[in-house]
Amino acid sequence: MKKDLHPSNYRLVVFKDMSNDYAFMTKSCINTNETVKWEDGNEYPLVKLEISHTSHPFYTGKMKLVDTAGRIDKFKTRYAKK
């Protein structure tokens, strides 16, 4: 195996799904400026996620409609003329 191939700064990091407030801890070497107090009373680095396995439609089996900036309304007004 090659030496110094993998990063050496692995530590425990909390990942939090911001759409449903689900959080889990795992080892990672990702850089982050935020921290959070975990269930054991210690502070760990925090990485905010937009989507995880608890909110992704493939894993949940539910389709979640997210209408940002009125995409559906824009589509309907654009094609209503035709």
pTM to 2 decimals?
0.65
Q: What is the pLDDT of residues 34-50, one digit of tens each?
A: 999 999 999 999 999 88
- pLDDT values of the chain reduced to their tens digit, one per residue, 82 residues: 788 888 888 999 999 988 888 899 999 999 999 999 999 999 999 999 888 878 766 666 666 555 555 667 777 777 876 6
- What's the N-to-C CA distance of the chain in angstroms? 63
**pLDDT at 60 (0 to 100):** 64
SS3 label, residue 78:
helix
Q: Where are the domains of the chain?
A: 11-79
Query: Phi-psi bin for 21: left (phi > 0), alpha (psi -120 to 50), beta?
Result: left
**pLDDT at 35 (0 to 100):** 94
